[in-house]
Structure 1
């Protein structure tokens, strides 16, 4: 993840990447071990994306968009629900009977969240911010994704300043764990 462009283009590209991962998982037969690897990749992408949004997008929404506090709070609540599902999915093998149910629930939650961001939040942000502000936010989002955790941490803070302080440390630990286990490597 790191597509380039302003914050809206960057996050929209992330959304398409996540949709593609859901499609790839859905195209494989139940119990196929490749589904677990793809679910790990999906988790990595969703966690990085969420952490970056919570660090930079939602504070900007609070600052620049009318009723931004309510919008940001709703989006953060969506993230919390998704992160709890990701944590549950983390403990499931592809053969586990809960795997398909969790993937379907996760896809529904993420699809609803993405539609809301793209149809409501992004246009409001585009109206409220200059092109330069949107470009700078895109750069911050890309940097945050590089340092973000790769595993769900539902109990971690999701608002500044605590999230900005703790996420890089959790991200480093997650990346070491991933390196040692081979998690997240392309197949």
Structure 2
């Protein structure tokens, strides 16, 4: 599956890439620099994906779906739990005994979130939105991912307008730090 197209295709492609990263992390030698690097790449992808969903997908869910506010709030709460785990992982060496435990918890949370989105939320959104709206949302999500932060900020605001002002600047700083440190390469 390639990136592009409507929002559902774009986010589903992200989900498959995250699945692949989890599999690669599990195959990497425990405690190895490769395992740490792959976890950094996973973190970058999950944070960018979450920011894009919170900025564009969930507002569309609120507008177009019956019980949209409840659904969006649940998904944002899922993101909060994932960001807390990512923040805990961020400061740990891959050889830390807690690293594997946190990674397993993260995978469980992410897989449950993905399963829920793909089997319920995306199906409902596809039924409620015109194809042009889904295409527009896909473009917005791709644009948001390019500018999004790459490090977890579990205490950052996740609702407009505060998130709108914070993300571009934080994203730029994160990408510069990642470039200089070669994080996620």
* Class of the TM-score when normalised by the shorter of the 2 chains: over 0.9
Give the whole-Å Cα distance in 2 for the aligned partners of 1:153 and 1:36: 19
Offset at residue 164 of structure 1 (A): 1.8
Mapped to 2, the partners of 1:132 and 1:87 lie a distance apart of: 36
Provide the C-alpha distance between the structure 1 equivalents of 2:55 and 2:179, rounded to a whole number of angstroms.
25
Three-state SS of the structure 1 residue aligned to 2:62 is: helix
Q: Quote the residue 1:94 is aligned against.
A: 94
d(CA) in 2 for partners of 1:165, 1:129: 28
Residue 182 (str. 1) matches residue 176 (str. 2): no
Gaps of at least 5 residues in structure 1 are none
Residue 13 of structure 1 corresponds to which residue in structure 2? 13
Deviation (angstroms), 1:161: 2.1
Matches within 5 A, 1:66-77: 66-77=66-77
Shift of 1:105: 0.2
Q: CA RMSD in A?
A: 0.9
Moved over 6 A (4+): none
Q: TM-score, normalised by structure 2?
A: 0.98
Q: Provide the C-alpha distance between the structure 1 equivalents of 2:163 and 2:3, rounded to a whole number of angstroms.
A: 23
2:158 is equivalent to residue 158 of structure 1:
yes
Quote how far apart the aligned CAs of 1:39 are: 0.2
TM-score (norm. length: structure 1): 0.97
- 1:103 and 1:124 map into 2 onto residues whose CA distance is 31
The equivalent of 2:29 in structure 1 is 29
Distance 2:20 2:58 in 1: 25
Determine the C-alpha separation between the residues in 1 that align with 2:146 and 2:115: 25
SS at match of 1:159: coil
Could you tell me how far apart the structure 1 residues matched to 2:36 and 2:116 are? 28
Q: Distance in 2 between matches of 1:121 and 1:56?
A: 14
> What are structure 2's unaligned runs of at least 5 residues?
none
Shift of 1:128: 0.7
1:113 aligned residue: 113
Q: Secondary structure in 1 aligned to 2:146?
A: helix
Q: CA deviation at 1:145?
A: 0.1
Structure 2 CA distance, aligned partners of 1:161 and 1:54? 12
Q: Which residue of 1 aligns with 2:141?
A: 141
